[in-house]
Structures are given as C-alpha cells and as structure tokens.
Amino acid sequence: MTANMLQKNQVNKDFIKSNSKQISLQTAQEKTYKFLVEIVQKWSPEDVIKEFKLLFIDCLDSVDLNSAPSIYAMFSENNEQEFRHTLKRCCYIIVNNWDSQRKYKYIKELVELFVNYQIKIWAAKSCSTKINIFQRWLINFVNSNDYEELKLFALKHKEENKTHWTNRYTTYLLVAQSFDKNNPKEQQEAALKLSKQMKDKFKFELAMYLARSQCANSSETRYRNPTILENNVLHLIKTIVLKKGAFSHENIANIFLKQTQNQTLKEFKDSLQKYLIFSVERQDFVETLKQQLSDKLSLWKKEYDEETISKELLLRTCNRVIDCLTTEKGREPSQLFVLLLSQGHTFTLVIVLLKVILICKNARSHLEIRMADLIGYYDKYPEEECQWVINFIEIFNITFAIYAENVEYNLINMKQDEQTSQPMVNLDAYRVFSQLKVDAQSGDKGTTRSHSP
C-alpha cells in the first residue's frame, strides 16, 4: 500500500471516529461536509467515488453497521428526512467541484452509483434491524424526485435521442431547483450554474446555425440546429425579428411603463390588458384573452386596488398573469393555456409572455418555474401526444433566446429595390444577422462580435 493511500485511510478513520462520538447531528453533518470538500479538492475523482461509495453504500453490506465505516452513525432510526438532506448536500458538494473542474464524466459515475444500488437484489435481510432501515432509506432516495433532480446533472452527457423528450428542456427543471428554498444551497448553486450553461449553449448554437444556414457554401453538418422545428426555424426567427423600430416590443414596453408609473393597481390592471393585446392581429385571440384575464384580474388583490403601482405590485401582478397563461396551481395547465394552444394561438401566446417579461424582468424566474411545472405535468405522456406542447416550448425557447441580453439579431433586406412598407413583407428577401455582445467585464463594453455569414 502506498504512502498516499495510507494517508487517505487514516483521514477516513479519523473522520469516522469523530462522527461516531456522541455529538450533535448538526456538528456531525458539518464535519461530513467539510470532509467531502477536503477530499474532492485533493483526491483523484476515482478515489473520491470509492470513498463516497464506502460511506453511503458499501457499509450497508455489512452484517454489523458498527464494524464498517459509515455515515449512518449520526442518524436515529426515525430521521430519514435529515438523512435525505445530508445525502443530497454531499452529492452536490461533489457535483459543484467537479463541474468547475470540468470533470463531467465523474458526475455521471457518481449518479450511476445509486442506479447500480437500486437494481441490486438482496439475497437475504441483514441481521441488523438498523441496516435494514438504512437500506430502505437509500432505496427510497433512489426512487424519489430528489434523485431525479440529481440525474439532470448527468443527462447532458447522454445523447438526447436516447432519453425522454422532456430532457430536451432540462434547463427549466434546473431553474425550478435553483429557486427551491428546501434544496441545499449547493444544489441551488449547481442547478443555477448548469441552467445558465445550457441557455448560453442554446443561444450560441442558434446564432451559429442561423448564420451558416443562410450561407450557400457552408457545411450543413458543422453547426446543428439546436431546435426540432427543422425548416421552420429561419422563417420563425425572421417573423420575430421583424418587429423592430419605433413599434418594437421593447419600445412599447418602455412606453407602457412610463405611462402607468403613477396609476393605481386597478387602473394598472386595465392598462396591462390593453398593453398585452396591443397590435395583436388575431381578433379571436384578443377576445379570448380579454375575457379570461379580466375575470382573473378584476377580483385579484382587490384590497390593493387604490394603491399606487410599485415595483412589488408590478412583479406580483405580472406573476399572476403568468400563472393565468400557464399554470395557476403549479400542478396542471391553466384553462387559458389549453384554450389558447388548442385554438392555434401558440406564437401569439409566446409573444404575450415575452411582453410581460419586457415590463418586469424579475418575473422571468417565475415564468421559467411555471414552464418547469408544465413540463413536469406532461412528462407522463409520450412525445407523440405532446406535439402541441413541444411546439410551444420550442417557439418559447427561440423567442426568448432572440430577446436575450447578450444576443442581438437584425433583419436586413437583401433586395434594396423592393418596397418594404407594404403590409405583407416578403421574408425571403431578408437575411438575419446575429451578433453576440462581448461581456462588459472583458473591457470591451459596447462592442460586438459578429456571427453573421
């Protein structure tokens, strides 16, 4: 045995010994977290996985729990929830460190430790009642939503076509994790970081695909289409970007905020409904939205109707509108969501949601959590039965990527002799140019890097 391994064994023995003393649960938990932070930063990933497996899994093969190193010594037999919280936090301490070190394959190996445990067939029960209880705890974890959330961190290393259709929209599930105060802070941080990585990757791939798809001599395989809309993507993007100039969605949003800043909540509710349907051409959509939103908002927070609109009331009102348009109870689609999509108003619904976020950027996280709720609801249905929902999510992804803060899209008329003031614009005459804005922290504030062909 090498000197390095001897040192590791001694560290492990000292750690187990300290946890077996009669100390408080909180103190034992903190010792555990500190121990894992230390080894994940100093040891090889292979050794960390072995140690983690020894502490949480292999010890449960023992006839006597006291004869093997174990993390379970700190828990009483009726403390499963505290065990679950401890296990989750330990996992995310390791995930966070390996993610920052780009050791992605080991995250997948860590997650799969539990899969292998779940499928293991126990030939006989242990003589120890305690071990039987702890075995059940671990199996309960593997069958829980907590483990499903952990698996999201390994999904990005699998081929998308081999996983469930909802895994294409993992970023929203991660956002929901990052804002769940019941999750350990390490899990919230890891989820927020991975969600941002996935959003940035989608925005970059969309910009590069767009550039190359309009270039005749470009390789079709160099940049893949990050959506599943195939040939409709280019036309959809042109339609979205077309709304520029004095009547752009951003300008209308800014005008609306200035005009309503001194209104009462009651006045603001009425103004908001008018703003959301402004410039919507489909009259059937307008009537449906007006009736439904009026019914939902008129009685909502009526006790605050005479108060002047504030940032807090603006956020709460926008969150309420988002609920009406997606899922009011966080469990199932709202009646308005189903009604609008069933009537073919998918694109218009996405634009209305965009207009809500343009007047209240802080409502973005609430909207993405509601997207996660919708995905979670339809998760139990096969892909072929969810095409209308998938189409909505894809259009939502593209629209919000185009209106992201660090990407700028411009529509340029390539046939200058054509009249562009006509009501029906020939989108085939236009090409879209995308630019990724350079981070202000890099010292190049105000400059852009073009990704147009």
Alpha carbon distance, N-terminus to C-terminus of the chain: 59
Sign of torsion, CA 414 415 421 422? negative
Radius of gyration of the chain (CA): 27
Starting at the edge strand found earlier in the chain, the sheet holding 407-413 runs 407-413, 430-437, 448-450
Tokens 């292979």 found at = 46
Q: What integer pLDDT is reported at residue 429 of this predicted model?
A: 58
Q: What integer pLDDT is reported at residue 148 of this predicted model?
A: 93
d(CA 239, CA 216): 22
Q: What integer pLDDT is reported at residue 86 of this predicted model?
A: 95
Q: What integer pLDDT is reported at residue 74 of this predicted model?
A: 86
Amino acid identity of residue 22, one-letter, is: Q
d(CA 19, CA 13): 10
- Residue closest to 191 by CA, chosen among 153, 164, 165, 158: 153
d(CA 361, CA 373): 20
The number of CA neighbours under 13 Å toward the Cβ of 321 is: 29
Q: Tell the burial category of 288 from Cβ atoms under 10 Å away from its Cβ (0-12, 13-18, 19+).
A: middle
d(CA 377, CA 397): 18
Cβ pair 130, 73 in contact under 8 A: no
Residue numbers in the chain where pLDDT is lower than 50:
1-3, 5-6, 10, 20-22, 68, 119, 121-124, 159, 161, 418-423, 440-453
pTM for the structure as a whole: 0.82
Q: Tell the burial category of 114 from Cβ atoms under 10 Å away from its Cβ (0-12, 13-18, 19+).
A: buried
